[in-house]
Structure 1
Amino acid sequence: MGQLNLYELAKRAKKEEIAREQILELFQPKIKKTLLQTAPHHREDVEQELSIKLLNVITMYDLDSAVGFWEFHEMTQKRKKDAKRVVE
C-alpha cells in the first residue's frame, strides 16, 4: 500500500489506531518546532497535551462537512464581491 494523504489517514483514523499513529508521526516535526517556543521544563508536558489534542480533533472532526476546493474558491469570491459593495 502506498503512502496515504492526510485526508485518507483522517478517514481511517476514525477506526484504526495505526492511522492515528501515522498522523501523529506526520505532525511530529511541527510539534517539535512549536515546542521550541516553550520553556524547556514544560516541553514534555506540552508535547503530550498537543498529541492528545491532535488525536481528539482527528476523531471528532466531521470529514463530510469539509468544504472542497471549488466550494471554498466560490465562497472567497463571493466575500470579495460583498466587501467591494460595502466599500462602494
Structure 2
Amino acid sequence: MSATYEQLADILAEELGQLREELDPALTFDDLGFDSLALLELGVVVQERLGFLIEGIGLRSTLAEAAALLDAASATAATGPAA
C-alpha cells in the first residue's frame, strides 16, 4: 500500500482507536463503525498531523479511496490549486 494509506492507518489506530491489524484498504468507514462525528474527528486529526484538509470522504468511502483523496490533497497543497 501507499505511504499515504499507511499514514491514514496510523491515524486510525493511534488517534481513533482502530486495531491496526484489522484495517484493510477495502473497508469503508461505515464498516469500521464510524458515524459523521467520527469522520469529522478524522478530518481534524488529519489536518493537525498532515497539514491539509481532506474533502469528499463519506461513510461509504473505502480506506483506499480516502488515501487517494489524501494523495490528491497533498499534491494540491504542495503545488497550489490549478488556475
**Which of 1 and 2 has higher RCO (CA within 8 Å, sep 6+)?**
2
Report which of the two has the higher share of helix: 1
TM-score by length of 1: 0.30
Larger radius of gyration: 1
TM-score by length of 2: 0.31
